Amino acid sequence: AYVLSDAPTAPVTEVNPPEAWRVYSSVFRKDAAGTGHARSALDSEQAWSAARNDDQQWVVLDLGEEARILGVVLQGRRRHRQHVQRVRIELSVDGGAWEPAPGGPDFDTACQPQDEAHKRVPFAAGAFASKVRLRPLKWEGHVSMRCGLLVGASGRALAGLPIVCLRDGSICALSVAPGRGEESLLLGLESESGSGKLVASCGAALARSPAAS
């Protein structure tokens, strides 16, 4: 087993919040959310395009609950030479106080014109938040962007517990650090396909074994 922070293939989920969970500083032509220039979801038919080209435009993605955010995923506008080249990323647990993303707040995106690839922008470390604000600082053509989040496997409920990634890919948390020959409570976690949200947990007293050491 691996401690999650050391696991070479620790699970990371691309989360694509629905349009209803996105808020924009402005929208070109004042299009309604989910239509025209207000479609920032990954792989959408267009993108979010701001009403103005300046560095005061932003998108806020709301997860609805705290999660371990590891980075963001970006695309430019579909079939156009409009994309963000540099972005400021801030995190919040309540939408009031905002903190810079670890390793930032400013990140280069590697986005290219008319490129449909998902460009991952990882943080220097994971951080717990429920809202992520992206503010374009540099762009080509127009302030236009499609975006999602990179979310880790563990949630706030596991903070402070030793997290273990088993060889079969499952994620577990030990209620106490295991000692030689002692029993520990092992919590098995299940995550919802696609969203990565924690949907169930169960506990069982298990003898310490090589798989959970």
Asked whether residue 1 is assigned to any structural domain, the reply reads: no
Asked whether residue 7 is assigned to any structural domain, the reply reads: no
Please state, as a whole number, how many other Cβ atoms lie within 10 Å of the Cβ of residue 104.
16
Asked whether residue 3 is assigned to any structural domain, the reply reads: no
Higher local confidence (pLDDT), 67 or 208: 67
For a pLDDT cut of 90, what percent of the chain falls above it? Answer: 63
Asked whether residue 88 is assigned to any structural domain, the reply reads: yes
Q: What integer pLDDT is reported at residue 47 of this predicted model?
A: 97
Q: Do 135 and 176 have their domain in common?
A: no
Please state, as a whole number, how many other Cβ atoms lie within 10 Å of the Cβ of residue 9.
8
Asked whether residue 4 is assigned to any structural domain, the reply reads: no
Residue with tokens 């963000």: 84
Mean pLDDT on 29-58: 97
Mean pLDDT on 122-151: 96
Instruction: Report residue 12's pLDDT band, with 50, 70 and 90 as the boundaries.
Output: confident
Asked whether residue 146 is assigned to any structural domain, the reply reads: yes
Instruction: Report residue 53's pLDDT band, with 50, 70 and 90 as the boundaries.
Output: very high
Q: What integer pLDDT is reported at residue 11 of this predicted model?
A: 74
Number of structural domains (the chain) is 2
Higher local confidence (pLDDT), 177 or 42: 42
Considering 106, 135, 152, which residue would you say is the last residue of a domain? Answer: 152
Considering 113, 130, 152, which residue would you say is the last residue of a domain? Answer: 152
Contacts for 211 with CB less than 8 Å, ≥ 6 apart: 1, 166, 167
Run of H or E including 59: strand 59-75
Query: Cβ distance 40 to 147 under 8 Å?
Result: yes
Asked whether residue 183 is assigned to any structural domain, the reply reads: yes
Q: What integer pLDDT is reported at residue 154 of this predicted model?
A: 52
What is the rounded CA–CA span in Å between residue 199 and residue 193? 10
Q: Do 189 and 90 have their domain in common?
A: no
Q: Do 65 and 119 have their domain in common?
A: yes
Query: Cβ distance 192 to 199 under 8 Å?
Result: yes
Q: Do 161 and 135 have their domain in common?
A: no
What is the rounded CA–CA span in Å between residue 18 and residue 195? 11
Q: Which two tokens stand for residue 101?
A: 């993303």
Range of the domain at 163: 156-212
Q: Do 64 and 160 have their domain in common?
A: no
Q: Do 28 and 50 have their domain in common?
A: yes
pLDDT > 70? residue 81:
yes
Q: Which of 113, 104, 127 is nearest to 78 (CA)?
A: 113
Q: What integer pLDDT is reported at residue 77 of this predicted model?
A: 96
Q: Do 66 and 129 have their domain in common?
A: yes
Q: Do 178 and 81 have their domain in common?
A: no
User: Residue 169: exposed, middle, or buried by beta-carbon count in 10 A (0-12, 13-18, 19+)?
Assistant: exposed
The dihedral built from the CA positions of residue 73, 93, 88 and 27, taken in this order, carries a sign that is positive
Asked whether residue 178 is assigned to any structural domain, the reply reads: yes
Q: What integer pLDDT is reported at residue 10 of this predicted model?
A: 52
Q: Do 160 and 56 have their domain in common?
A: no
Q: Do 178 and 97 have their domain in common?
A: no
CATH number of domain containing 134 = 2.60.120.260
Q: Do 21 and 113 have their domain in common?
A: yes
The pair phi, psi for residue 52, each rounded to 5°, is -135, 150
Q: What is the pLDDT of residues 162-205, one digit of tens each?
A: 445 444 445 554 444 444 333 333 344 444 444 444 443 433 33
Q: Do 134 and 201 have their domain in common?
A: no
What is the rounded CA–CA span in Å between residue 1 and residue 109? 33
